[in-house]
Every structure is written in C-alpha cells, then in structure tokens.
C-alpha cells in the first residue's frame, strides 16, 4: 500500500485538477450559450437569401450562372471545420474520422481532391498525413464575425469559379443540443439542389436591374454565407462539447478524490493500529 504522503499528494493534485476543469466547464457553458444564440440568429438571414436565390433559379426567369451548373468533376475540395484547441471530447476526432473514411471511399488517388482546413487540429491532422491542404485558417475567436472568415470563404468560392476544383463540400459538427452534435456533410458548390427555405410560402420578386446581375453578386455571397453559417454552428458545437468533456472530467476527479480519501483513511488507520500494537507489545515485553 502506498504511504500516506504519496496518497495525500495525489489527493491534493487531483483537487487542483478538479478546480481547473470546473472553471473550464463554467467558461465553456457561458461561451456555448452565446455561440448557440449567434448560430440561431443567423438562420433567418440564411433562409431569406436562400429564398431569393431559389426564386431566381427556379426557372421562372432565364437567368443562369456557372455556380448553378454542374460540370465534369476532375477535382473535389473539402472544407473541414475543426477547433484550434483540444479538451473537447470527440469534437475533432469525429469529424476527422468521418472525412478520412469518405475520402478513402470516394477517391482512388489523393490527386483527386484538396483540403481547406479551418482550425489548428484539422490542419495539423491532414498536413501530418501528407494530404494536399491548399489553404487553412487558425486562431479564430470564440465568437467569430463574418469579417474574421471573409478571406478564406471568398478564396474558397473564388477557386471554384477559377476552376481550381469542380465541387466543394463542407464537413462540420452540427449543433443539435448541448449533449449532442452531428457530423454533417453539406455541398456548397455547385448550387444544384436549391429549394425555398420557407416551405408553403410563395413570394413574388421583381429583379432590378436584372436577375443575371443580381446572381453575379448574390450567389458568391450566398456560398460565403453557407460557410460562415457552418462555422457558427461548429463553434456552438465546439463549446458544448468542451463543456460536456470538462463536466465529465470534473465528475471523474471527484470520484477519484473520494476513492483516494478512502484509501488514505484506511492507510492512516492501519498505521495507527500498528503503532498501538508496537506500544502494547513493548510494554508487555518490559513486564
């Protein structure tokens, strides 16, 4: 049995760890509420833009745009949204595992696809394994604004327009609830499966100066907003996953402290009993 000093040291260090994880849990809980609010607040804007784009692309006009047209796929891009830090349970590993499995199933060669990574964990994962990471972004704030991701979003959309790749998919964790996040794949470009976000609501639009001119401006913005919306969704999932992970760590630390305290008390009682026995034995020897 470990001596009393070793057990006491383990109890002290575990209590310090418990205090740290508890603090991180509370911080993540606060960030999670704000991130969830940001993600939900962005949904009405997304739906309205989608309604307008769907109205233009529905066939009621003769408008067309390269982003609305499928072309032969020679190269595919995958934009993966991860985090810059760990301690978030399976938040990153679930996305990376799913995307890696998808890449091996869809493609015979790594020359058929490229990676765009948001988050240090995702970037380092694919770079370390030799994947072609053509662009990345790290160091995003916990509550990002569109200006924070505008550059990489526009670059991703621009590379599709330039023909660098022929389709673009996103992989991120969709926020379902505080204890549940789902790995989601979403096709961003080309925009081929577009329906009005407001089901059962039919709005009439008049386009000035023309539908084609509006598409030239609106479609890139729509694709960029999809990326930003996924990032907000991913941030809400990240903070929720980290809060859950830190709560589990705190609970485990408390359980370990209880077990160590029991071992410490037993060891202390055994030491006291041994001392009493030695004293009684010594006194009996002197009689």
Residue 264 lies in a domain: no
Give residue 59's region: left, alpha or beta (phi > 0; psi -120 to 50).
left
Beta carbons within 10 angstroms of residue 159's beta carbon? 18
255 within domain boundaries: no
Indicate if the pLDDT at residue 59 is higher than 80: no
pLDDT value for 205: 63
Closest by CA to 194, choosing from 23, 77, 47, is: 47
Q: What is the mean pLDDT of residues 76-90?
A: 90
Segment 14-50, tens digit of pLDDT = 999 999 999 998 999 999 889 989 888 888 888 888 8
Q: What is the pLDDT of residues 199-251, one digit of tens each?
A: 555 556 666 777 677 777 788 888 888 899 999 999 999 999 999 999 999 99
Neighbours of 235 (CB within 10 A): 27
Residue 202: per-residue pLDDT: 55
Given a contact cutoff of 8 angstroms between Cβ atoms, the answer to whether 207 and 48 are in contact is no
Is residue 6, in this structure, part of any structural domain at all? no
pLDDT reading at 195 higher than 80: no
Q: Provide the b/e sequence for 177-209 (b: ≥16 CB within 10 Å).
A: ebeebebbebebbbbeebebbeeeeeeeeebee
Q: Give domain status of residue 280, yes or no.
A: no
State the total domains in the chain.
Answer: 1
Highest mean pLDDT among 69-73, 77-81, 180-184: 77-81
Query: What pLDDT does residue 264 have?
Result: 86
Within 13 Å of residue 17, how many CA atoms lie on the same side as its CB? 17
CA distance linking residue 268 with residue 264, whole number of Å: 6
Domain CATH number, residue 140? 3.40.1380.10
Name the pLDDT band for 62 (thresholds 50, 70, 90).
low
Name the residue range of residue 49's domain: 26-244
Do the domain assignments include residue 69?
A: yes
The reported pLDDT for the residue numbered 250 is: 93
pLDDT for the residue numbered 55: 74
The predicted structure's pLDDT at residue 169: 93
Element counts in the chain: helices (H) and strands (E) = 5, 5
- How confident is the model at residue 58, as a pLDDT? 65
> What percentage of residues in the chain have a pLDDT greater than 70?
90
Does residue 3 form part of some domain? no
pLDDT at position 86 is 84
Q: Cα separation of 165 and 167, whole Å?
A: 6
Q: Which tops the pLDDT comparison, 248 or 1?
A: 248
Residue 249: inside a domain:
no
Compute the C-alpha angle 51/54/57, nearest 5°.
Answer: 155
- Does any domain span residue 189? yes
Q: Give this prediction's pTM.
A: 0.83
């Amino acid at each position: 049995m470990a001596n009393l000093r070793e057990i006491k040291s383990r109890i002290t260090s575990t209590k310090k760890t418990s205090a740290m994880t508890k603090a991180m849990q509370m911080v993540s809980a606060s960030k999670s509420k704000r991130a969830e609010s940001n993600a939900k607040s962005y949904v009405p804007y997304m739906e309205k833009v989608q309604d307008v784009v769907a109205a233009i692309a529905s066939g009621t006009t003769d408008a067309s745009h390269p982003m609305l047209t499928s072309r032969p796929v020679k190269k595919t891009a995958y934009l993966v949204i991860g985090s810059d830090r760990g301690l978030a349970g399976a938040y990153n590993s679930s996305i990376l595992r799913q995307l890696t499995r998808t890449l091996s199933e869809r493609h015979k060669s790594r020359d058929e696809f490229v990676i765009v990574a948001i988050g240090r964990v995702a970037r380092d994962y694919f770079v370390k394994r030799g994947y072609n990471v053509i662009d990345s972004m790290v160091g995003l704030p916990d509550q990002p604004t569109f200006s924070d991701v505008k550059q990489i979003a526009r670059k991703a959309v621009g590379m599709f327009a330039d023909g660098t790749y022929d389709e673009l998919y996103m992989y991120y964790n969709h926020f379902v609830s505080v204890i549940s996040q789902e790995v989601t794949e979403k096709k961003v470009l080309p925009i081929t499966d577009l329906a009005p976000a407001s089901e059962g609501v039919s709005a009439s639009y008049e386009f000035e100066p023309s539908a084609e001119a509006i598409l030239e401006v609106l479609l890139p913005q729509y694709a960029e907003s999809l990326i930003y919306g996924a990032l907000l969704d991913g941030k809400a999932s990240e903070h929720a996953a980290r809060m859950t992970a830190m709560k589990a760590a705190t609970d485990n630390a408390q359980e370990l402290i209880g077990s160590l305290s029991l071992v410490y008390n037993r060891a202390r009682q055994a030491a006291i009993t041994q001392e009493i026995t030695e004293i009684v034995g010594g006194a009996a020897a002197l009689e």
